[in-house]
Amino acid sequence: MGNSVDSATEIVSIQNLSFSRGDRKIFNNISLSIPRGKITAIMGPSGTGKTTLLKLIGGQLYPDQGSVTVDTKNVHQLNRADLYTLRKRMGMLFQSGALLTDLSVFDNVALPLREHTSLTESMIRSLVLIKLQAVGLRGARDLMPNELSGGMARRVALARAIALDPMMIMYDEPFTGQDPISLGTLVKLIKEMNKTLGHTSIIVSHDVEETIGIADYIYVLSDGKIAGQGNPEQIRNSDSEWVQQFMNGYADGPVHFHYPAANYNKDLFEI
């Protein structure tokens, strides 16, 4: 399927990418582009390789064929030092939040600044408070992770992800397991931060309504291919039966309710 993102404005370009785990083909010659400064969603049911795609973009996994370019740099041709430098410009919000349990909220957010900069503690303090203020949790700076609700933990993880002012943030299933209020807060935060901070956002998700409500452009993955792509309106009106089944949550369609099996009567009565 063709690409509609102008190459001059793209921050990520994936060309003819194939990737397998053992005998299973996760991606089969896919190409897609992520526009700079926009919110792009990678959608599809569990097991379609959405998180794997983030790891390929970050250089944690190597493709079997094809290329992944981030900010004009071919990720898998970089040496270790250059890849490390590039990764510092990518924020990552893990599904679990991945906060360090023995560090306070303040110290979790301060960690990237202490590890990757030579800023004074006074400057780090100011930056941490600015990031926590941005996610509404400056008052929670002295709490430990086990004192946070799931929604608060996800927001602290977001503050940590933006600590180094990355050019791009990758969200791995950010809405999973959130109560309605926390979910609404996260949706609002992602949208506002993308706009005010000028980030590029990549959201990997199977939560249809939340994602389609804030995405500028959407790719829907299925069976190692791009089943559909376009802006939210184009995706909602897609003529692909598979995309319609996924977006509307139909129990049956191209993805069958029943896993392939022998004839039911023969199987049941051992005929």
Domains and their CATH numbers in the chain? 1-89+204-271 (3.40.50.300)
DSSP 48: S
- H helix intervals, the chain: 50-57, 80-87, 105-116, 121-134, 150-161, 180-197, 208-212, 232-236, 241-248, 264-269
Q: What is the pLDDT of residues 155-176, one digit of tens each?
A: 899 999 999 989 999 998 888 8
> What is the pLDDT at residue 260?
65
What are the helix and strand counts (H, E) for the chain?
A: 10, 10
Please tell me what DSSP assigns to residue 259.
P
Mean predicted confidence (pLDDT) in 124-146: 93
186-210 per-position pLDDT tens digit: 888 888 888 888 889 999 988 888 8
Distance in angstroms (rounded) separating the CA atoms of residues 270 and 33? 52
Distances (CA, A) of 24 to 45, 49, 90, 199, 238: 16, 11, 29, 34, 28
Q: Residue 1 has what pLDDT?
A: 43
CA 68 – CA 16 distance, rounded (Å): 9
Q: Which pTM was predicted?
A: 0.84
Average pLDDT of the chain is 87
Query: Binning pLDDT at 50, 70 and 90, where does residue 70 land?
Result: very high
Identify whether the C-beta of residue 261 lies closer than 8 Å to the C-beta of residue 267. yes
Tokens of 267: 């199987």
Residue 105 in contact with residue 143, Cβ under 8 Å?
yes
